[in-house]
C-alpha cells in the first residue's frame, strides 16, 4: 500500500516550481501549498496598509504588523487547487503583480516573517500528503521530506517564461524589467541571512531548461512513486 509522503520543491524564481508542484499534487491526490504565496500575502498586506511606501519600509513596522495578519488556504471548487486568503479575503490574484514581486524577497528575508510563515507551513504539513514549493522547504521547513526536488533553468529561459506569463495575465511589463526583477530576487534569495536558497544535500536536481512540462512531470512522478513505495 502506498504511504503518504511530503514532497518539497525548491529552486530559483520562474523555474516552474508551482506548475510542477500542482501537477504532482493533482496526480497523487495531495494538497498543494504555494509557500511563496504566503510571503507575497504578507508583502501585500504591508503595501496596502502603507507599511511599505515607495519601496521603503522599517523592519520593526513589518514585525509589528505580523500579529494582524491571518493566512489560510482554501480549495477553489472549480480548479480544486488551494488559494491563499489574507484576513478572510481571497488574494490569489492580487499577490501576483510586479509590485509585490519587487518587494517580496526583502520582506521574506526578515527573520520574524520567516518564523511566522514557517510555523504555519509546518502545521499544514503535519499530516503529510502535501506538495510544497518555495525557497527553503527541503532545507528548513521539511528537512525530513521523503522527496526533495531542486529546480533550476537557464536565466534567459526563466525571463522569457515569466514575461510571457505576465503578458498572458494582462500585465504590461518589459523583458528588461522582468530580467532585473529575477536577477535581484536570485541574489536576495541566495544571500539572505536566514535560511537562504540552497540545494539540500539529498535533493534531486531538475534542470528544466530544455524539458517539456510532460517530461518534467514524468520525472517527478517517477521519483514520487518510488519514495512512496508504489
Question: Regarding beta strands 130-134 and 147-152, do their DSSP bridges make them parallel or antiparallel, or are they unpaired?
Answer: unpaired
- What percentage of the chain has pLDDT greater than the value 70? 99
Residue 107 near residue 113 (C-beta atoms within 8 A) = yes
CA dihedral 133, 137, 142, 147 (to 10 degrees): 60
Q: Quick one: average pLDDT of 114-120?
A: 93
Q: Quick one: average pLDDT of 99-116?
A: 93
Residue bearing cell 518589459: 174
**Confidence at residue 80, expressed as pLDDT on a 0 to 100 scale:** 73
Tell me, what DSSP letter sits at residue 53? Answer: B
Evaluate if residue 108 carries a pLDDT over 70.
yes
Q: Quick one: average pLDDT of 195-222?
A: 96
Position 178 in a domain: yes
State the helix-helix crossing angle for 111-124 and 35-48, rounded to 10 degrees.
130
Instruction: Give the sheet arrangement for strand 82-86, strand by strand.
Output: 71-75, 82-86, 89-90
Position 102 in a domain: yes
**Confidence at residue 1, expressed as pLDDT on a 0 to 100 scale:** 52
| Phi, psi dihedral angles at 90 (to 5 degrees) | -70, 115
For 37-95, how does the pLDDT look when each residue is reduced to its tens digit (9 = 90+)? 999 999 999 999 999 999 999 999 999 999 999 999 888 888 777 899 999 999 999 99
For 120-142, how does the pLDDT look when each residue is reduced to its tens digit (9 = 90+)? 999 988 889 999 999 999 999 99
Position 89 in a domain: yes
Q: Quick one: average pLDDT of 148-172?
A: 93
CATH number at residue 103: 3.40.50.300
**Confidence at residue 162, expressed as pLDDT on a 0 to 100 scale:** 92
Q: Quick one: average pLDDT of 156-180?
A: 92
Question: What is the pLDDT of the chain when averaged over all its residues?
Answer: 93
Distances (CA, A) of 147 to 15, 20, 31, 79: 18, 14, 15, 25
Q: Sorting pLDDT into bands at 50, 70 and 90, what band is 230? A: low
Task: Write out the residue range of the structural domain in which residue 125 sits.
Answer: 6-227
Q: Sorting pLDDT into bands at 50, 70 and 90, what band is 203? A: very high
Q: Of 17-21, 29-33, 147-151, 160-164, give the range with the top mean pLDDT.
A: 147-151
Q: Structural domain tally of the chain?
A: 1
| Phi, psi dihedral angles at 137 (to 5 degrees) | -70, -50
Residue bearing cell 498543494: 32
Cell numbers for 1: 500500500
Nearest to 7 by CA among 39, 38, 33, 45: 33
195 by Cβ neighbours in 10 Å (0-12 / 13-18 / 19+) ranks as middle
Contact residues for 167 (Cβ-Cβ < 8 A; gap 6+): 173
Residue 204 near residue 150 (C-beta atoms within 8 A) = yes
Position 183 in a domain: yes
Q: What is the pTM of this model?
A: 0.82
Position 1 in a domain: no
How far apart CA 134 and CA 125 sit, in angstroms, is: 14
Amino acid at each position: 500500500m502506498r504511504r503518504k509522503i511530503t514532497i518539497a520543491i525548491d529552486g530559483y524564481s520562474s523555474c516552474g516550481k508551482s506548475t510542477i508542484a500542482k501537477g504532482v499534487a493533482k496526480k497523487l491526490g495531495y494538497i498543494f501549498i504555494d509557500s511563496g504565496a504566503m510571503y507575497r500575502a504578507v508583502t501585500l498586506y504591508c503595501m496596502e496598509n502603507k507599511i511599505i511606501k515607495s519601496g521603503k519600509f522599517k523592519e520593526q513596522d513589518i514585525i509589528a504588523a505580523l500579529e494582524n495578519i491571518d493566512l489560510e488556504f482554501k480549495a477553489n471548487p472549480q480548479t480544486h487547487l488551494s488559494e491563499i486568503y489574507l484576513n478572510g479575503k481571497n488574494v490569489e490574484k492580487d499577490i501576483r503583480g510586479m509590485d509585490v514581486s519587487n518587494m517580496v524577497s526583502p520582506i521574506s528575508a526578515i527573520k520574524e516573517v520567516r518564523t511566522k510563515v514557517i510555523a504555519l507551513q509546518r502545521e499544514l504539513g503535519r499530516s503529510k500528503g502535501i506538495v510544497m514549493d518555495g525557497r527553503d522547504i527541503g532545507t528548513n521547513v521539511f528537512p525530513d521530506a521523503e522527496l526533495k526536488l531542486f529546480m533550476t533553468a537557464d536565466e534567459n529561459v526563466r525571463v522569457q517564461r515569466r514575461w510571457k506569463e505576465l503578458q498572458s495575465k494582462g500585465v504590461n511589463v518589459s523583458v528588461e524589467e522582468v530580467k532585473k526583477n529575477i536577477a535581484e530576487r536570485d541574489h536576495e534569495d541566495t544571500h539572505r541571512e536566514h535560511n537562504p536558497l540552497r540545494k539540500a544535500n539529498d535533493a534531486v536536481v531538475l534542470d528544466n531548461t530544455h524539458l517539456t512540462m510532460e517530461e518534467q512531470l514524468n520525472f517527478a512522478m517517477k521519483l514520487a512513486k518510488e519514495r512512496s513505495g508504489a
